[in-house]
Structure 1
């Protein structure tokens, strides 16, 4: 059985993401690992922080996780197995260990803040997307669950052999059983002499999965993506983080790609293979 790892900070948007995760797991015969990373309290003296206090904190977090588990089962039924995990500090290495021990396929997280000024789990989420080395599904607050049938991948079609993690993308598409729509946005009358060669390379890389190629002429790339997603009634958007400061760049007000994170459908980041 596949495993989806769902970190939570018990916020409203985290609850929304866990609800989405359970519904997705139900359609894909997967189980959920619901987890929370907490920080150990700072002791004023060497004697103040005792094992009893630490165990009490851990027990409280575990109780809240189990309460959320009960809420999810009460709402969506108990078809999806849910286990609860508490960890202290260092979210990223703990999730990496869960990937290895639970045969995990996805991390599913939520967002907070209309302008992405604050991201769910703060810097931990930035570290997660940049460093986890595995696909991460980001669930916007307005996203409504529906089975994933079409996934849009906006690609500039430049050096696809080095910039498209095809094998990871194929594994995810096989997990969600979806069709891939490769979208290339071009300015009107923009020449592309190398396009055919790049398309042939991409075709070989994506062999074995259903996909189609679409070229749209738009002056505004973000508007073109949004229009295409709406016209195709797509269920998810793929983004390939190519830089380690990927999300930090996205949340800058001047960065138009931040508009994608106001989407009403989930976004999945699939990292490139390490060089």
Structure 2
């Protein structure tokens, strides 16, 4: 069975993301696995001061396991209160030593993980786990689709998924992946594109290929001519009510990472919509 992985630090934003993941799993017929990452610093001496010793790890792990059990039971109880006949996902949990991105990678390798769902930090309450640097590291290192949930976003059955595309052939695999998610809700996939100049020929070729490969009827297209991509995307997003926004994160070289934020990272910081980020991959991923 497919499994949705939910990193958590037990903060309100992280629990909100876990609730969203459980609701999503009900429709996609997936399991949910909670993960807490305990960062264990190396023991180094600095000016007569020693960092937290490794001997404290068992205590931290015991406390984290207890918190994970409480959270899992709370999510299960909330799910069991529902009287409908929609699929009831199983909820498991684990606690590992390491940073968030690395522990996610390890768990994904050992389990059938198809999606990572993570709380997006609240700019008014920056906390240890959901700080911007952590979400940016997850975006940069992600090998699986990463769904970022804003602090106050609540789950709604998905009617429209918007995907920002540049018409590259690699985007076809992402659209095929999105079709597996959209089918669970019978949702529309809305393809968005910002032109620097009008080019209907590339639109026609791309949409023809999408139709042939995605095998999903509810795919539509909207485009806008604008000089600035971020402004154009914001204009397009304001014109439709959406439940999810999708982008691809393509890794930059070192200089780009040092001096520029990508469009994805800017959207992650300010988006009020759940933001689904795909790594640039050469195959479709079943969601």
- TM-score range relative to shorter protein: 0.7 to 0.9
Between the aligned partners of 1:206 and 1:234, the Cα distance in structure 2 is 21
Q: Residues 175, 4 of structure 1: CA spacing in aligned structure 2 closer, same or farther, 3 A cutoff?
A: farther
Structure 1 unpaired stretches of 5+: none
Say if 2:121 and 2:131, in contact at 8 Å, map to a contact too.
no
TM-score w.r.t. length of structure 2: 0.76
- For 1:152, what is the secondary structure of its paired residue? strand
Change (3 A) 1:161 1:94: same
1:19 aligns with 2:19: yes
Structure 2: how far apart are the matches of 1:226 and 1:173?
Answer: 23
**Cα distance change, pair 245–31 in 1 and its aligned pair in 2 (3 A):** farther
- Asked whether the equivalents of residues 122 and 150 of structure 2 are also in contact (C-alpha less than 8 Å), the reply is no
Shift in Å, 1:123: 4.2
| 1-structure distance, mates of 2:263, 2:247 | 15
Q: 1 CA distance for matches of 2:35 and 2:189? A: 30
Please tell me whether the aligned partners of residues 194 and 232 of structure 2 are also in contact (alpha carbons under 8 angstroms).
yes
CA deviation map 1:90-142 (0-9, x unaligned): 43343234334432221000111439988825544333322231100011123
Residues of 2 paired with 1:200 and 1:255: CA distance?
A: 27
Alignment equivalent of 1:263, drawn from 256, 271, 276: 271
Contact 1:139–1:266 (Cα < 8 Å) also in 2:
yes
Partner of 1:105: 114
1:212 is aligned to 2:238: no
Partner residue of 2:65?
A: 62
Q: 1:153 to 1:190 in 2, by over 3 A?
A: same
Selected match of 1:135 from 134, 140, 145: 145
Q: Displacement of 1:39 after TM fit?
A: 1.7
CA distance change for structure 1 residues 225 and 110 in 2, over 3 Å: closer, same or farther?
A: same
The 5 Å alignment of 1:1-275 reads 1-40=1-40, 42-43=42-43, 49=53, 53-77=56-80, 79-114=88-123, 120=130, 123-157=133-167, 160-166=168-174, 167-174=176-183, 178-186=187-195, 190-208=198-216, 210-217=218-225, 221-244=229-252, 258-259=266-267, 261-273=269-281
Deviation at 1:243, TM superposition (A): 1.8
- Greater Cα shift, 200-209 or 116-125: 116-125
RMSD of equivalent CA atoms: 3.8
SS at structure 1 position matched to 2:221: strand
